[in-house]
Amino acid sequence: MGVFIEELRIRNYKCYESADVKLQNSTLLLGANNVGKTSLLEALELCFTPYKKISEELIFLKKDEVLSREKSILLDVLISPIGDSFDDTWHEFFGDFVVEGESKDFVALRTIIKYSAAKGEYELDRKALNAWPESDDVVSFTDFNSHSVKREVIEAIPVFYLDAKRDIVSEMNDRFSYWGKLVKDIKLSDDDLKDMEILLNDINDQIIGNSDVLKHLRDKLNDISKVVNSSNNRVEINPVSRKIKDLDKGMEVRFSDSHSESFAISNQGMGTRSWTAFLTLSAYIEWKIIDMEREGRPYHPLLLLEEPEAHLHPQAQRKIYRQMQELTGQKVISTHSPIIAAQVNLDEIVHIYKKGESSSINYINLEGLGDTDVRKIKEEVIKTRGDILFADTLILCEGETEDQVLPEFFKEYYGLEPFELGTNILGVGGAGKYKPFMRVAKALDIELFIFSDGESRIVSDVKKHYKQVYGDVSDAKIADYITFLPDHGDFEKYLVQSGYKNELLKVIDEVKGKESFIEDYIERNNGQSGKPQRTEEVCPRCTQNIFKSEIKDYEGEEGFNTALIECLGSIKTEYSSQIGQLILQRDNIDKIPQVIRNFFFKIAKIKKYPINAAFGEIKDGGIYVEFDTETTRDS
């Protein structure tokens, strides 16, 4: 039975004006660069570091705000027992700080950074709170415990911080790094120490004795005694350290495998060096825990791990995450790695983003969701599409083709790659599978646009799901965010009907390596019976749709179109990758199909994206004007 840090509340710290963060036993911080992941970790570190240098730079300021002496930083942490009340050791340790909450006991600590007029600088103060106030009351709350927060209380929650810039090579030269702290005293018995120092002396003497160069150098250096005029001065050269306690300065780590000579760690790549730094931290944590257990004091290690995936290849990223999970203590991990994100539980994800001038926090809200929904989000979104967690905007489409062509058209339309605008384009792999993505996008404040097929069943499903997730929004708003292909069709049907036949035929010929492939196809298959297809007819007995094999009829233009679409279906993968490029070769506005232009225009208007001059313009005052085919011809 132990404790865990349940919540951190930040007021006026760095990029956070006000944020409440619920923490789990393991918490993953996701977010783009520069949104405040590191600041959040630092805030937590500050809460549990007895002394820390502080300055006014840490205080959140709005744009153009002048720092007033009255403004201070508040960092509140809620420490909860596992269970309803603290075990005896923690209870005694926290003593008077234990607050009897509605359902369980807790301890609340506040770290305050405020200006001290007497000292003329900012100083750090800590208080225990007699209650856990409502979030809105945090700033005005002053019901402090009358006992002061002693250093031991802070030290019972030791912080271990794994820096994103970690490098074992520089750590080995730093006495205050985890490496340095571990090897500072290697704890040899006095007897061993003596024996080994004799051996070290021996080795030194032997090296000097056998090396003419070193002997010569030493003799020359000994000329110094002539200068300082004292017969007792003697210069010594130590090829290796004579003192065990100095060994830490010259330690080396080497890697080798069965095939090769060993290499010093400094010759290894950054991946290995970074991972070694992580393993050193693990070793240090375990060592400290043994120490603390021996002292019989309660402790709860808090591990703050910044971008553990740095420099590691995907397999290694999976592995390092597992190794992190095995460490004792509560973890808060910041990451940019979809691979790591894919391994966590949904409730462990904290999403950080900029909202106006301050950074904000949100979660994937699982409230009211059934197990199936949760599993879907986990399986269909996080595991396979972890990268969208890092997106600002998400464009969902139905299938493979759209997934391939939309990015190409996107680049043409906006003049920028999707990622440059923080946009991810994602095929969800089938009709109606948008819902779990909607949930995630809604939860993480990712702006969501959908480019969907237009079958009436799909249209009504998608609208229904959208309303379930986003609340009762108007059809007009839905139209801004969701575009359905016209005439109840899919993308292929749209292309066929909108004058892109030539391009489609060209692709088929190219893929099949044959000219006029479609004519052959029609000749071969016309009048044959095809695969059974679902019909709208319903069986009166089992109330299921009846499947029928229809005789293929490729007569006339309609028949030709049907054949064409069938053909495309059989070569989907190859065709998808080429059709976009082919269409883009046109030299008029139709090099992007109109339905996509309209879709992109709506996105541009909402997201304030730039538009390629061929497709529209942004007038003064940010008014967007879309060009249609006619306007282009006129100009």
Partner 1 sequence: MLNLTPKQQEIVEYLDGSLLVTAGPGSGKTRVLTQRIANIIEKRKGKVLALTFSNKAAEEISERVKEQIAEEDFERVEVGTIHSFCLDVVTNKGNQIGLPSGLALIENEKDKLELLKRSCDSLNLSLKERELREYYLQIQNFKQNFITPDLARKEQHNIDVINLYESYNNLLISNRVIDFDDILFYAYKVFVDRPRVAKNYTRLYRYILIDEAQDLNETQYKIIQALTRDFYNLMMVGDSAQSIYGFNGSDSDIMTKKFVKDFEPKEFILKENFRSTYKIIDAANRIQPHSKSQSVYPLEGVLEVHSFADEEEEANWITSQIEYLIENGSPWVENEIELEDIAIIGRNRYLFDSLEKCLQKKKLSYSFGGSNVHLECETIEMKIFETGLRVLVNPHDDLNYSKVNSYLSRENQTENFLQDLLSNREINNLELNDEIVNAIINAWNILDKDGSDFMVALNEIEKTYLSLCQLEENFQFLIQNDLELWKERWSKYCKQSVPGGRSLPYFRNQVSLGKFREDNNEGVSLLTVHTSKGLEYEIVFVLGLTQGTFPDYRAKTHSQKIEEKNNMFVAITRAKRECYLTYPLIKVMPWGDVKRQQPSEYLLFID
Residues binding partner 1 (CB under 8 A)? 85, 88, 91-92, 95-96, 98, 100, 105, 115-118, 125-126, 130-131, 142-150
Q: Closest CB to partner 1 among 12 and 334?
A: 12
Q: Closest CB to partner 1 among 150 and 586?
A: 150
Q: Closest CB to partner 1 among 142 and 468?
A: 142
Q: Closest CB to partner 1 among 37 and 126?
A: 126
Residue 401: which of 281, 276, 521, 491 has the closest Cα?
491
CA–CA separation, 187 and 193 (whole Å): 9
| Residue whose entry in the numeric block shows the structure tokens 């553990």 | 308
> Which tokens belong to 545?
């749709």
**565-573 contacts at long range (C-beta below 8 A, 24 or more positions apart):** 565/492, 565/493, 565/496, 566/521, 567/508, 567/517, 567/518, 567/521, 568/492, 568/504, 568/508, 569/492, 571/508, 571/511, 571/512, 572/400, 572/401, 573/400
Q: Closest CB to partner 1 among 155 and 480?
A: 155
Given the DSSP bridges, would you call strands 529-538 and 545-551 parallel, antiparallel or unpaired? Answer: antiparallel
CA–CA separation, 211 and 429 (whole Å): 73
Helix (H, G, I), strand (E, B) or coil at 407: helix
Q: Closest CB to partner 1 among 85 and 526?
A: 85
**Distance set, CA 116 to CA 57, 113, 120, 122, 340 (Å):** 15, 9, 6, 6, 43
Q: Closest CB to partner 1 among 139 and 264?
A: 139
Distance of closest approach, residue 97 Cβ to partner 1, in angstroms: 9
First to last CA, the chain: 76
Contact 269, 126 (CB under 8 A): no
Per DSSP, which regions of 411-519 are E strands?
423-427, 447-452, 482-484
Distance of closest approach, residue 100 Cβ to partner 1, in angstroms: 4
Q: Closest CB to partner 1 among 50 and 610?
A: 50
Distance of closest approach, residue 122 Cβ to partner 1, in angstroms: 12
CA–CA separation, 422 and 458 (whole Å): 28
DSSP character at residue 399 = S
Distance of closest approach, residue 103 Cβ to partner 1, in angstroms: 10
Distance of closest approach, residue 2 Cβ to partner 1, in angstroms: 17
Distance of closest approach, residue 292 Cβ to partner 1, in angstroms: 15
Distance of closest approach, residue 362 Cβ to partner 1, in angstroms: 30
Q: Closest CB to partner 1 among 91 and 572?
A: 91
Distance of closest approach, residue 104 Cβ to partner 1, in angstroms: 10
Residue 236: which of 215, 267, 255 has the closest Cα?
215
Residue 374: which of 318, 279, 443 has the closest Cα?
443
Distance of closest approach, residue 360 Cβ to partner 1, in angstroms: 29
Q: Closest CB to partner 1 among 133 and 559?
A: 133
Residue 164: which of 41, 325, 267 has the closest Cα?
41
H/E stretch holding 352 reads strand 349-355
- The rounded radius of gyration (Å) of the Cα atoms in the chain is 34
Distance of closest approach, residue 152 Cβ to partner 1, in angstroms: 9
Distance of closest approach, residue 187 Cβ to partner 1, in angstroms: 24
Q: Closest CB to partner 1 among 89 and 238?
A: 89
